[in-house]
Amino acid sequence: MKRKSIIAIILIALGIVAFAYQGITYTTREKVVDLGPIQVTAQKNKTLPLPLPPIVGPVALTGGIVLLADRKQERLMWTKFCPTGWCQ
């Protein structure tokens, strides 16, 4: 594989992950009331956001697709000028 194809695949994978993965959600228990033997706890959901801005996903995905399309365009150009394939 050429370097351009590898970079395109990595960008596409990063874009898909950035779209699908918006952060880590976890649940914590906190004591609300503690009166001797009576204890009341509450569950709270918290989210650790992904440290990437939301624009990274679409930009990476689009960039990877453009790089792959450009790679196919180069291949089509070579086959047009060299139909036998020996000059690649």
The pLDDT tens digits along the chain (88 residues) read 688 888 889 999 988 888 877 777 889 999 888 888 888 999 999 887 767 777 888 898 899 988 888 866 666 555 555 556 555 5
In a domain, 35, yes or no: yes
In a domain, 11, yes or no: yes
pTM for the whole thing?
Answer: 0.54
In a domain, 88, yes or no: no
What is the predicted pLDDT for the residue at 76?
A: 57
> What is the total count of domains within the chain?
1
Give the domain range for residue 55: 3-81
- The set of long-range contacts for 40-49, using a CB threshold of 8 Å and a minimum separation of 24, is 47/23, 48/23, 48/24, 49/22, 49/23
In a domain, 86, yes or no: no
